[in-house]
Structure 1
Amino acid sequence: MAITELVFPALKPTEEAKTGFFDKLPDALPATFRVPGGPVTMSLARVIESIPADAESHSGYMAVITWESLEKIEAFINTPGFADFKVKMAELSSGPTVLQFFEAAPEVVPQNTVKGASHFFVVKAVGDRAEVEAARQRWGDVTAAFAGVAGDSIEFNSGDGRKNVDGQFAGFSGWKSLEALQDALENGKVQAQLLAMRESGADVSTFTLELKHVF
């Protein structure tokens, strides 16, 4: 089943590292990643806002990558090209990069949420099984509220955590503009559903991202 990967690089707190990641790295990525067995889509992301502000100890930048399956990822990360990429990332980083994998339901196509989106909204829920399931149910209410504001101009999907984030849940939505996303987040019905999700018992965090598509 298809995967949405969230990447949290531990970038050095310098302008050189930030520029290197968001502005310079995209030119080098296709040679390594746009290959047979590689990702379906790849986007770098600037964190416009996260709640809480230090969610996932992010460094202000992320990546959003979609894959055909977890098996594809496991094979790819053992290739020489990926090993070379890790060396390049280490030059920009002050610590290890955290990779999180979320598996979509059968027949769901996560890349449709990313393609054509300039901005991306992520909701993550962490807790015990009952708490995460309650948050998952609330995500359905959040997407219904989003659709009530923005209609069919947005795409949604969600996934269950695998490997190091097993038992977690994440919901994703892709937006055509920051203004459309901000208008939705300021809507009373949307705010009520996000509040209900945060009160579900799970530890809920959100990320508003500006995407830079690599491919």
Structure 2
Amino acid sequence: MPATTTAAKLRRQRWFVTGTDTDVGKTTVAAGLLVALKQHGLTTLALKPVAAGCETTEQGLRNNDALALQAAATVALDYQQINPIALEPAIAPHIAAQELGLTMRVATVAGYCRGALLQRCDVALIEGAGGWRVPLNLRESFADLAVALQCQVVLVVGVKLGCINHALLTAEAIARDGLQMVGWVANIIDPNTARLAENLASLEALLGAPCWGVVEYMREPTATAVAAQLNSKAIVESCYE
């Protein structure tokens, strides 16, 4: 625990990890956050309540993102607790559910999450799917799930051309929904982004929340490698009051 927090009180955190789009590295960053917290002695729990793009295994449908979170968290949960709604098609989750004759509702998904969240930990991390407004059904979205669970939000910004607009629109939507963006992480998904330093400086000036790290482009990122690029001091201090 950092010296500045020795006299502070640890406050249990509930973070919802969202992205500026799909394929921006939410899971990579989320797993890195879990490793960074573990390195500082904090206990963690991670959920991926809805996952599309699951593969059939001997144990049933499994999702690589959910498995990565399971491996990085300190609290051991059964896979079904981490990913209660597993969908095979790698498409928008509400469309995948429709094709299977299922209707996902916020109240149901939140109920699954609350059951797992009864486990004691310092930080509970819940990963969404795609961006902030990805639908759960034609009336509700993952944003509604974050609101129902009263989470603070961690935004993963996929750094590429156009990311400033995507990030600011997402931050505005989070604030409009009444939730706090506790931090954001820049994940460089296009290493050839023009004026990279200027883009990062603009994001830091405009987003109005602490930057928890800039993750360099990696062909095969690992949770440990990502954790090393995060500002663990800022992340851990956010857990104290």
Q: Same fold (TM over 0.5)?
A: no
Provide the TM-score with structure 2 as the length reference. 0.27
Provide the TM-score with structure 1 as the length reference. 0.29
**Higher strand residue share:** 1
**Higher helix residue share:** 1
